[in-house]
Amino acid sequence: MKYINKKFTIEKVSVQKIAKKFDTPTYCYSYKKLNENIKNFKKNFKSFSPLICFAIKSNTNVNLIKEIKNFGLGADVVSMGELMMALKAGINPKKIVFSGVGKTSKEINYAIDKKILLINAESKSEIKEIEKIANLKKRKVQVGIRLNPNTDAKTLKQISTGKRENKFGVNDKVFIEIVKYCKNSNYIDLKCLSVHIGSQILDHKPYEKMLNVISKIINKINHNFEFIDLGGGMGISYNSRNKKLNYKKYNLAIKKFLKNHKSKIIFEPGRSIVGNTGILICKVIYIKKTESKNFVILDAAMNDLIRPALYGAVHKILPSVKKNKKLYKTYEFVGPICESTDKFATSKNFQELKEKDLIIICDVGAYGMSLSSNYNLRPKPTEILIKGSKIKVIKKRQKYRDFI
């Protein structure tokens, strides 16, 4: 994705062409970028060839998941809907792990019937529920237990999950109790220890700490886990100030861990696979000048992309065509929704804009469309996938008749 002759282009297709053909707002993904991300992810950890389970929650588009499956990835799901979607995309159940603190009996039933690789339980009650259902089915079910390693992921507090005060996983004491319980059960096959300490992690040190905690607890209980599921969380650069996660150091820490513990590593990455594959193309509806600000009112809003409103997340905003004339302004980019948090960013020194200009919001491939809603009864955007010069509609724009 770059400017070619001053026009922002995805692979071989310009943003202008996409907007003309599909209107705006439109989510647009690059296949080439997806391919690159997956290849790099595999390369970073190639010495122990982990099972990579794509976190479906980050992007739930079935056509995109199909492409991801074609690279050999499995799935991490957190609801029956996500499990159904992963299966619909053709992902092998033996590559699917089911995480989440509140799986209902209906969801557990479904997961057992589909013979997925692991149900990663997050409480004693859940283990008992799985056991009860497995008993009724006379089946031994493969489970993992999610440990809360009480490790600060040093990321946004809203997306931090590995601290004691978070609802996720169980502490070491309960973990040990559950392991003992599982060993005596005829219906639970304890295969995995899982963790996930948070998302958008850019520092490898929390991962090192997490591995130390896991190592200690395994030594204490003396149980050999066939799988260690390290979750996802690898961060991406949303702006040039973001530092990059040091994959080399994370990889080294895992290799050190594997010297003492012979297990297969599972990862559950979402953002690092799809985050930078997507842009949101939108149009300036109005430019509204007040005494203190220049508001650029876009046709995309917080219902299409909620990350800035929900987490104060920063997404780069770019013009679709770079102008020669150097006239710069400070703009506040907002959507049409009736909430003051419906704001994408304030940009200083942005090239002068006019109404109907096209704008690009960057790095929205993860937790963009998957967190979209119909708030203010706005239809959800189109999603398209670019492969070279080919454009494929992977989800049509929602029609008013779909919800009215």
Q: Residue 373: in which H helix or E strand, if any?
A: none
399 contact partners, CB below 8 Å, separation of at least 6:
379
The distance of closest approach from Cβ of residue 100 to ligand LLP in the complex, given in angstroms and rounded to an integer, is: 7
The H-assigned helical ranges of 154-293 are 172-183, 205-221, 247-260, 271-274
Cα 250 from Cα 151, distance rounded (Å): 15
For residue 326, the tally of other CB atoms under 10 A from its CB is: 8
Is-catalytic flag, 338?
yes
Cα 345 from Cα 316, distance rounded (Å): 8
Cβ 354 vs Cβ 331: under 8 Å: no
Residue 25 vs 231, nearer CB to ligand LLP? 231
Cα 146 from Cα 148, distance rounded (Å): 7
The distance of closest approach from Cβ of residue 306 to ligand LLP in the complex, given in angstroms and rounded to an integer, is: 8
Interface ranges with ligand LLP (CB under 6 A)? 55, 58, 76, 99, 159, 196, 199-200, 231-234, 268-272, 307, 311, 366-367
The distance of closest approach from Cβ of residue 293 to ligand LLP in the complex, given in angstroms and rounded to an integer, is: 26
The distance of closest approach from Cβ of residue 365 to ligand LLP in the complex, given in angstroms and rounded to an integer, is: 11
Residue 58 vs 382, nearer CB to ligand LLP? 58
The distance of closest approach from Cβ of residue 367 to ligand LLP in the complex, given in angstroms and rounded to an integer, is: 3
Residue 110 vs 311, nearer CB to ligand LLP? 311
* Structure-block tokens of residue 391: 């454009």
The distance of closest approach from Cβ of residue 42 to ligand LLP in the complex, given in angstroms and rounded to an integer, is: 15
Cβ 194 vs Cβ 229: under 8 Å: yes
> Which of 53, 192, 282, 338 is the catalytic position?
338
Residue 57 vs 378, nearer CB to ligand LLP? 57
* Structure-block tokens of residue 268: 């559950």
- Alpha-carbon radius of gyration of the chain: 23
Residue 269 vs 335, nearer CB to ligand LLP? 269
Tell the burial category of 303 from Cβ atoms under 10 Å away from its Cβ (0-12, 13-18, 19+): buried
Residue 219 vs 242, nearer CB to ligand LLP? 242
Cα 352 from Cα 259, distance rounded (Å): 57
Catalytic residues: 338
